[in-house]
Amino acid sequence: MTEIAAILPPPSYPASVLLVPAAPSRMPCDAEFRPWLRNCLARLGVSSRQIALAADLSSNSVSHYLRAPDRSISLCNAHTIMCKVHEIAEKQSVTLPGIGGRNV
């Protein structure tokens, strides 16, 4: 440890940064993620449009993804959506289901 590092206090992060869940070790496939997302949105009472806007995506991107089985979603967008869903669930004190039999 350098002398400067020894004098500086540890960085402080806003609480919102600490609430964001870590990325899963394996991103689920569309066949697992799509039903999980539908289930979560229903439990939270959130529309696909609302979650898309919260994740800074176009307003129809999530609804198109949920409706079209041949449509895919980028890993980055899936992770962002997952984080927003967890954030909303935490605010509402709602327990989310696992994806593909795993807890998230």
CATH number at residue 63: 1.10.260.40
Q: Could you give phi then psi for residue 96, rounded to 5 degrees?
A: -90, 150
In a domain, 2, yes or no: no
> Which residue range is the domain that position 44 belongs to?
28-95
Residue 83 lies in a domain: yes
pLDDT in tens, the chain (104 residues): 445 445 555 555 554 444 445 555 566 788 889 999 999 999 999 999 999 999 999 989 999 999 998 998 988 899 999 999 999 999 999 998 888 755 55
Q: With a threshold of 0.75, does the pTM exceed it?
A: no
